[in-house]
A = this chain, B = another copy of it.
Amino acid sequence: MTSLRHNGAETGGPRDAYLDAARACILDLGWRRTTLTEVARRAGVSRMTIYRTWSDMRQLLADLMTREWTEVVVAAEADDEDSPGRTVVERLVDKLVRTVKVLRGNELFVRIVELDPELILPYLLDRRGRSQQLILELVEQALRDAQASGDVRAGDPAAMARGLVLSAHGFVLSAHTMVDDDVSEEALEAEMRVVLTRTLQP
């Protein structure tokens, strides 16, 4: 994680160190058993210091998730620059598939899904979170650029971005429930590529 830290929007400083401590707690104990007191203990600061930044664990978690998923998305963007020689659509699809895979394998995400899956429900059922909003904006901008050069089909880039992100939701959360002796993880990833590629092509 540390190597990506410099890409984040709000980084460095004590706030980031407190989030690191909270992240370590959640990986060890799960979210439900992590308290602000425990975060303070791990960070080696007073409880009041933590309370001045977050009034409860729910607010801290929202900030931690935003930082973590933002890093995932920014890393997926960055990698892309290293692999030229593909079409615009291929690069966009690679980026989306990579984001889905990295998110699915992210240790904080895996831990939350294992121990406290109800924490993700608000972001599925009630409202978009900050990182979902960031992803939408990045995808929409990428679509707008690619449409300008004629590399991606016409259409409202905002609606297209939301359709793409909704199509990807199932692959992030539930792909493993669709893998068994009949269909491999690779076959399912290939299907995701087909869905995304065909959706984007002019």
Chain A residues near B (Cβ < 8 Å) = 113, 117-118, 121, 123-128, 155-156, 158-160, 162-171, 173-175, 177-178, 182-183, 187-188, 190-192, 194-195, 198-199, 201
Contacts and interface: CB of A to CB of B under 8 A. Distances in A.
A178 B166 contact: yes
A177 B127 contact: yes
Nearest to A127: B177
A186 to B, nearest CB: 9
A177 B125 contact: yes
27 contacts: A113-B125, A117-B118, A118-B118, A124-B177, A125-B174, A125-B177, A128-B177, A155-B191, A156-B187, A158-B182, A159-B188, A159-B191, A162-B178, A162-B188, A162-B191, A163-B188, A163-B192, A165-B178, A166-B170, A166-B174, A166-B175, A166-B188, A166-B192, A167-B167, A167-B171, A169-B173, A170-B170
A161 to B, nearest CB: 9
A143 to B, nearest CB: 12
A195 B113 contact: no
